[in-house]
Structure 1
Amino acid sequence: MIRPATRADIPTIARLIRMLAEYERLAHEVVFDEEELAKHLFGPRPAAEVILAEAEGAAVGFALFFQSFSTFLGKPGIYLEDLFVLPEHRGSGHGKALLVHLAQLAVQRGCGRLEWSVLDWNEPALGFYRTLGATPMAEWTVHRLTGDALARLARG
């Protein structure tokens, strides 16, 4: 079962994010505060949405996503920030069900694309996405500003 997350799911979302970070070898980068996370997901102007995959009443995976926009298509899109299924539930269709749900939302919302990034070493995920017909965008390089570099640029 796939369902939209609610504010009451914040502890579950936080736990799943931390587990994803461990899997991606990035646990040292997890610094969020749960109240701040709740504000950004369920406050007056949500920055992102979360859907949960459940089995027997317990969350076994999640997808966190937000609206993007394609100037070339002239349409909104959905950017999938994170997708994670507990290791013991992988191969049971939960990841695909989350992606099917996101594709349905994209179509319902008139989006022109659904896109995401994948760590280049994560061959199980890369293989899974290929089976769905996803195309890697090898010619694009992601850039990021955080911390001091972001603050420095903001100061002009």
Structure 2
Amino acid sequence: MIRIATPDDIPVLHALVRELAAYEKALDEVVASEDQLAEALFGDRPAAYAHVATADDGSGEVIGFALWFLNFSTWRGVHGIYLEDLYVRPERRGGGHGKALLTELARICVERGYERLEWSVLDWNAPSIAFYESLGARPQDEWTVYRLTDGALASLGGGTP
């Protein structure tokens, strides 16, 4: 039901990323191409990793994914996993695929000695929040995410905004 993504999965992974963005009301923000995703996951220096959930009917149809990368905690002195995206197609939710994807990432953390599995969730996404909390995850209420992109990033980095 859960397996490591392969280069053959790039088209469906890209489609799932777009579906997730549409669900999050941000489809117009997706500019990544299939080629960029392939390079990030399978290039000479992979920057990210992905697992896919497949249908239980034996078809092998990819119905969800988890895309993640390593982070590092200076306080704990070890790596952790940052889950960038977790998505299961709406018509396939409730079948345990999301939990299975998170279970696999938790297993990797335990096996490798990583001490954190972290992700962000939109504050309006009540079904996901309830799901995560049912697994024992807790929000980090004292922290606020900041982001530099586009012109602000270029300006600070010395480029042309």
Give the TM bin, normalised by the shorter chain.
Answer: over 0.9
Residue 136 of structure 2 corresponds to which residue in structure 1?
A: 133
SS in structure 1 of the partner of residue 146 of structure 2: coil
Residue 36 of structure 1 corresponds to which residue in structure 2?
A: 36
CA distance in 1, matches of 2:48, 2:101: 15
CA distance in 1, matches of 2:44, 2:111: 23
Structure 2: runs of 5+ lacking an equivalent: none
Would you say how many aligned residue pairs link Structure 1 and Structure 2?
156
SS in structure 2 of the partner of residue 32 of structure 1: coil
What is the RMSD of the two structures over their aligned residues, measured on CA atoms? 0.9
Query: Percent same amino acid among aligned pairs?
Result: 59
Name the aligned partner's letter for residue 35 of structure 1: D
Residue 115 of structure 1 corresponds to which residue in structure 2?
A: 118
Residue 19 of structure 2 corresponds to which residue in structure 1?
A: 19
Residue 155 of structure 2 corresponds to which residue in structure 1?
A: 152
Residue 87 of structure 1 corresponds to which residue in structure 2?
A: 90
- Provide TM-score, normalisation by structure 1: 0.98
Q: 1:4 offset after TM fit, Å?
A: 0.5
CA distance in 1, matches of 2:90, 2:20: 10
Q: 1:111 offset after TM fit, Å?
A: 0.2
Name the aligned partner's letter for residue 17 of structure 2: I
Structure 1: runs of 5+ lacking an equivalent: none
Structure 1 ranges of 4+ moved more than 4 A: none
Q: 1:51 offset after TM fit, Å?
A: 0.3
Name the aligned partner's letter for residue 112 of structure 1: E
Name the aligned partner's letter for residue 5 of structure 1: A
SS in structure 2 of the partner of residue 135 of structure 1: coil
Residue 106 of structure 1 corresponds to which residue in structure 2?
A: 109
Name the aligned partner's letter for residue 108 of structure 1: E
Q: 1:129 offset after TM fit, Å?
A: 0.5
Residue 68 of structure 1 corresponds to which residue in structure 2?
A: 71
Cα distance per residue 1:62-98 (max 9 Å; x no partner): 0000000001111100000000000011111000000
Query: Which moved further from structure 2: 34-43 or 57-66?
Result: 34-43
Q: 1:148 offset after TM fit, Å?
A: 1.2
- Provide TM-score, normalisation by structure 2: 0.95
SS in structure 1 of the partner of residue 83 of structure 2: strand
Residue 4 of structure 2 corresponds to which residue in structure 1?
A: 4
CA distance in 2, matches of 1:37, 1:139: 32
One of 91, 96, 99 as aligned partner of 1:96 = 99
